[in-house]
Amino acid sequence: MKIAILGAGAMGSLYASYLAPIHDLTLLDSYKPQVDKINSDGIIKIEKDRSEIRFSVKAVLSGAPIGIQELVIVFVKGIHTYDAMKENMSLLGPDTIVMTLQNGAGNNRDIGQFVPKERVIVGTSSHNSVSMGLGKFYHSGCGPTNIGPDFPCDSSLNDVNKVASALEQSGLTINIMEDIQKVLWQKLMVNCGINALSTLMQCQIGEIYYNPFLWDLCQKIVHECVKVAEADGSIFDPKVALQIVQSVCENDAEGYASMYQDRQNKRITEIDRINGVVASLGDEYGISTPCNHMLVTQIHAIEQMYFHTER
Ligand SMILES: NC(=O)C1=CN([C@@H]2O[C@H](COP(=O)(O)OP(=O)(O)OC[C@H]3O[C@@H](n4cnc5c(N)ncnc54)[C@H](OP(=O)(O)O)[C@@H]3O)[C@@H](O)[C@H]2O)C=CC1
Ligand SMILES: CC(C)(CO)C(=O)C(=O)O
């Protein structure tokens, strides 16, 4: 399959390491040194047992005219989705499928401005990947990729099956989900509970569960999410929601959340699309979400500090 991945960061490179050996794959990124390094040295994946594997992958600058693709996978941060799609419209033909496995809410809407909604696949990735510098990443957590149509209809279900089998051929575990919207809510809760807290504490993902003070806070955050999800039409048992967060903490214990990696690299985070979405939906539905509101403010305060040195 002819596949392009937008964003050659931690996750784009991880999925490229699976897909490039089997498919005609190109990575597109906006950072030239990253593109050059991948073209000269390939991408290097470090596994949990510290073994290193090198993969040859083609990379080009975002916007390069590499022709119409059968599948475009979006792996830029949510705040860059619209721009990445706009820059790369030349990859989109009448049958191109666009898939987002990004975290946070709103990516499908941004993508839907460039592609009919029947051709958009949404989903979640249970992998965790930590960037270790140009062209190198640590694969700190492994798990299934859950996908489903953004707008269920016969043609979109065919597309989902086609993409699932192409990804499975590459060794990825794919679950086609009937209720993908519920899965997206569940992943949002995981990100709400883990990402901002571990960014504030500058800690590994496992610490959120192993440290009783952080786990207490995490439970409060997730309980707020469960109430907002319920008002939004997705019902979760709070115990089950927390068990899922706990299992992510255990599975990715030695990894770092993508938001913490943003803090380390002084990049604007996805906070408004994660805890920010729960806080504003809570306001809309009249549900109090003080923990999620507080996290949004604290992360924005950290972002402000990137640009200060001394006063
Ligand atoms: N890391 C993880 O473990 C997980 C991450 N996710 C989600 O996956 C998505 C990607 O995360 P992650 O890989 O960690 O992020 P990274 O920041 O590591 O990678 C994103 C890449 O996209 C590049 N980029 C920015 N703008 C454009 C553009 N217009 N065109 C092409 N490339 C662009 C960035 O370049 P530059 O650095 O120059 O901005 C960067 O190299 C996020 O939504 C995240 O929440 C989901 C599950 C796990
Ligand atoms: C669930 C978690 C924390 C694990 O990768 C994640 O999705 C992220 O890092 O953004």
What CATH number did the domain enclosing 296 receive?
1.10.1040.10
Say how many Å lie between the CA of residue 206 and the centre of ligand 2: 11
User: Which of 161, 178, 195 represents a domain boundary (last residue)?
Assistant: 178
Ligand 2 and 196: CB distance under 6 A: no
Residue 309 falls within a domain, yes or no?
Answer: no
User: Domain limits at 123?
Assistant: 2-178
Instruction: With beta carbons less than 8 A apart as the criterion, state whether 102 and 78 touch.
Output: yes
Question: How many other C-beta atoms can be found within 10 angstroms of the C-beta atom of residue 135?
Answer: 25
What's the 231 CA to ligand 1 centre distance in angstroms? 31
CB of 77 closer than 6 angstroms to any ligand 1 atom: yes
Alpha carbons within 13 A on the beta-carbon side of 94: 0
Query: Atom of ligand 2 at shortest distance to CA of 205?
Result: 3
Question: Is residue 97 situated within a structural domain?
Answer: yes
Distance 30 CA to ligand 1 centre (A): 10
Q: Is the C-alpha dihedral spanning 181, 187, 192, 196 positive or negative?
A: negative
Cα(135) to ligand 1 centroid in Å equals: 13
Q: Residue 145: name the closest of 105, 108, 172, 183 by CA.
A: 172
260 CA closest ligand 2 atom index: 9
Does 308 reside within a domain?
Answer: no
Determine the distance separating the centroid of ligand 1 and the alpha carbon of 32, expressed in angstroms.
15
Half-sphere exposure of 198 (CA within 13 A, CB side): 27
Query: For ligand 2, is residue 190 a contact (CB within 6 Å)?
Result: yes
The one-letter amino acid at 136: K
Same-domain status, 68 and 192:
no
Distances from the Cα of 200 to the Cα of 231, 246, 253, 279, 291, angstroms: 28, 19, 17, 18, 13
Atom of ligand 2 nearest to the CA of 127: 5
The residues near 118 (Cβ < 8 Å, ≥ 6 apart) are 149, 151, 153, 155, 156
Residue with the smallest CA separation from ligand 2 atom 1 is 191
Q: Tokens standing for 74? A: 């979006």
CA of 195 to the centre of ligand 2 (A): 7
252 lines ligand 2 (CB under 6 A): yes
Q: Which two tokens stand for residue 267?
A: 């990049």
CA of 253 to the centre of ligand 1 (A): 21
Choose one of 178, 204, 225: the last residue of a domain: 178
Report the side by side order of strands in the sheet with 120-125. 58-61, 24-29, 2-6, 71-74, 97-100, 120-125, 145-149, 174-176
Domain end, chosen from 118, 152, 178, is at 178
Are 224 and 169 within one domain?
Answer: no
Contact call for residues 227 and 110 (beta carbons, < 8 A): no
Same domain, residue pair 40 and 102 = yes
Ligand 2 centre to CA of 311 (Å) is 34
Same domain, 197 and 284: yes
Closest CA to 203 of 249, 235, 159: 249
Q: How far is CA 137 from CA 77, 198, 273, in A?
A: 17, 19, 24
Claim to verify: residue 189 and residue 245 sit in the same structural domain: yes
The domain tally of the chain equals 2
Identify the pLDDT of residue 110.
98
Under-50 pLDDT residues of the chain: none
**Does one domain contain both 222 and 122?**
no
- Between CA 247 and CA 196 the distance in angstroms is 18
CB of residue 204 inside a 6 A radius of ligand 2 = no
Residue 311 lies in a domain: no
Q: Closest ligand 1 atom to the C-alpha of 13?
A: 13
State residue 123 phi and psi, 5-degree precision: 180, -175
* Two tokens, residue 155: 């043609």
Please report which residue ranges of the chain form alpha helices under DSSP H: 10-19, 32-41, 81-87, 107-111, 154-169, 180-201, 207-210, 212-231, 238-251, 258-264, 275-285, 290-306
Total residue length of the chain: 311
Q: For residue 310, is it within any domain?
A: no
How many C-beta atoms lie closer than 10 Å to residue 99's C-beta? 25
Q: Is residue 299 assigned to a domain?
A: yes
Residue 18 inside a domain? The answer is yes
- Based on the fold, state whether residues 202 and 172 are members of the same structural domain: no
Q: Whose CA is nearest to atom 2 of ligand 2?
A: 257
Question: What pLDDT score was predicted for residue 307?
Answer: 84
Residue nearest to atom 36 of ligand 1 (CA): 31
pTM over 0.95: yes
